[in-house]
Amino acid sequence: MEYEVVIGLEVHAELSTKSKIYCSCTTEFGGEENTHCCPICTGMPGVLPVLNKNVVEYAVKAGLATNCTIAEFSKQDRKNYFYPDLPKAYQTSQYDLPLCKEGYIDIEVEGEKKRIGITRIHIEEDAGKLMHDEWETGTLVDYNRCGVPLIEIVSEPDIRSAEEAKAYVENLKAILEYIEVSDCKMQEGSLRADVNLSVRPKGQKEFGTRTEMKNLNSFRSIVRAVEAETQRQINEIESGGVVVQETRRWDDNKGVSYAMRSKEEAHDYRYFPEPDLVPIVLEKEWIEKVKEALPELPDARRKRYIAEFGLPEYDAGILTSSKRLADFFEEAVSKNSNTKAVSNWIMGDLMRILKEKNLEVDQIPFPAEYLANLIGLIDKGTISGTIAKKVFEKMFDSGKDPQVIVKEEGLEVVSDEGALVEVVKKILESNPQSVADYKSGKEKAFGFLVGQAMKETRGKANPQLINKILKEELEK
Ligand code: ADP
Ligand code: MG
Ligand code: ZN
């Protein structure tokens, strides 16, 4: 029997407002434990929350950027549950009247475009953090994250593979970064996804029973969790069992998921309207203003790169996949009009080094202008392509301008003919066999001799000149 996987994602993004959702505590990540909190975000009796207006604006931006309808009237609700990371014993969230609904984003997997529906986006508060690992004798809790604003973006069950799930989260992340409502740092937990997944025989209309895996915080773990859970459900069905609706914990180290608890229903949470907060009423004009102020989104930017810079669709897609990368590209292009070279350096050496050094784009230790300068040095013939690659590595170590590195280390191309003649003579003397080979018609020997001469000058010789001199000397 052939099976089809059905996936719906619930993505949580921490909003990058300065203060928390209902108090003026900072939202800054980390900090000494329990120092970013106050009676409000720790749920002391008798306190009153006040909604941070920026949270509403950021969530509306996210809704507009994902083609949602924005509710002119919405409200907040209490979602009750008892857990030590939640001192209020309820999370203020939104239940039946979310801020945004019925949107979509487009993804592309292996050249095929597809539209993924967004059911809703609502605002809510984050919980604290439990620390089990470091203390064998007990669990400690840090409430700094309590009350950090979140948006939860719920997708329709439109996703059909691990690749589509990855593409969806990548696109969503890019959009949220572009509109600057979240820093989307997955390793710090500011963007995390819950994966709802079921399987059904191919061709069947009804969905199968789903499980939910919570808090996946890397693309790799999303892909692996989807693949493993798909297989687990198929095996379960094939061996005559049934899939149980439950919440599972994905262990990324072991590559397996464990049943955590049976799935709770909405009534388990005893949702009711938050009595301490008034409904959120938005004016049409205000929503319109937020919409007009939206920056260029990834899709539009990609199209512009193709039209304006003549980049291939593939290159434009990669460059615009992150706002920071696209900004870096544009900054470099504004200083050097060799667009194709800028794009090639970014897509090739830059991405490779970032990966090797495990760096994010905003951790590049030099301004984009320095990349423009490096390309300028090559185009003017001051340095060779081979030397340029070495200089680029050095820029990552020192953060220095390539013009400075080239000067300091004397890396300019040697075009002094007299000096190069000496080099060539020396090479011919020490390689009599290759000279004989060349004279007996073996063309390959010429290339070897060029290589030796370049090596002798540590890559700095002007290659055209070396070629010319070598020919002349061999003719003699
Ligand atoms: P809950 O309120 O219990 O979280 P929802 O109906 O809001 O459930 O759905 C949560 C997520 O699960 C959504 O992203 C939705 O697309 C997805 N989903 C719902 N049914 C299925 C299913 N049968 N298989 C896979 N995903 C599903
Ligand atoms: Mg849910
Ligand atoms: Zn507080």
Q: Indicate if 27 and 139 belong to the same structural domain.
A: yes
Q: Indicate if 275 and 311 belong to the same structural domain.
A: no
Q: Indicate if 452 and 399 belong to the same structural domain.
A: no
Q: Measured in angstroms, how far is the CA atom of residue 10 from the centroid of ligand 1?
A: 8
Alpha helix positions (H), 310-458: 313-319, 323-335, 339-345, 351-357, 368-379, 385-398, 402-409, 417-430, 432-439, 444-456
Q: Read off the pLDDT of residues 49-104 as tens digits, 9 standing for 90 and up.
A: 999 999 999 999 999 999 999 999 999 999 999 999 999 999 999 999 999 999 99
Q: Indicate if 168 and 246 belong to the same structural domain.
A: yes
Q: Indicate if 375 and 254 belong to the same structural domain.
A: no
Residue 455 has pLDDT above 80, yes or no: yes
Domain range enclosing 437: 417-475
CA dist., res. 382 & res. 376, Å (int)? 9
pLDDT band at 134 (very low <50, low <70, confident <90, very high): low
In testing the pocket of ligand 1, which one of 195, 210, 215 has its CB within 8 Å of the most ligand atoms? 210
CA dist., res. 364 & res. 377, Å (int)? 20
Q: Measured in angstroms, how far is the CA atom of residue 265 from the centroid of ligand 3?
A: 30
| Ligand 1 atom with minimal separation from the 155 CA | 14
Give me the chain's average pLDDT, please: 93
pLDDT band at 135 (very low <50, low <70, confident <90, very high): low
CB under 8 Å to 67, separation ≥6 — which residues? 103, 104, 105, 118
CA dist., res. 347 & res. 340, Å (int)? 10
For the Cβ of 8 lying below 6 angstroms from any atom of ligand 1, the answer is yes
CB count in 10 Å sphere of residue 474 = 15
437 three-state secondary structure: helix
| Number of structural domains the chain divides into | 3
For the Cβ of 96 lying below 6 angstroms from any atom of ligand 1, the answer is no
Q: Indicate if 55 and 116 belong to the same structural domain.
A: yes
Q: Indicate if 146 and 7 belong to the same structural domain.
A: yes
For the Cβ of 17 lying below 6 angstroms from any atom of ligand 1, the answer is no
Query: Which of 359, 381, 409 represents a domain boundary (last residue)?
Result: 409
Q: Indicate if 44 and 178 belong to the same structural domain.
A: yes
**pLDDT of res. 459:** 82
1 three-state secondary structure: coil
pTM value?
0.83
Q: Indicate if 176 and 312 belong to the same structural domain.
A: no
For the Cβ of 197 lying below 6 angstroms from any atom of ligand 1, the answer is yes
Q: Indicate if 157 and 31 belong to the same structural domain.
A: yes
pLDDT band at 362 (very low <50, low <70, confident <90, very high): confident
Query: Which of 364, 383, 409 represents a domain boundary (last residue)?
Result: 409
Q: Read off the pLDDT of residues 145-191 as tens digits, 9 standing for 90 and up.
A: 999 999 999 999 999 999 999 999 999 999 999 999 999 989 888 99
| Ligand 1 atom with minimal separation from the 264 CA | 3
Q: Indicate if 217 and 317 belong to the same structural domain.
A: no
Query: Which of 261, 287, 313 represents a domain boundary (last residue)?
Result: 287
CA dist., res. 183 & res. 174, Å (int)? 10
Q: How far is CA 322 from CA 294, 328, 349, in A?
A: 17, 10, 17
Q: Indicate if 99 and 124 belong to the same structural domain.
A: yes
Query: Which CATH number characterizes residue 436's domain?
Result: 1.10.10.410
H or E stretch at 282: none
| One-letter amino acid for residue 386 of the chain | T
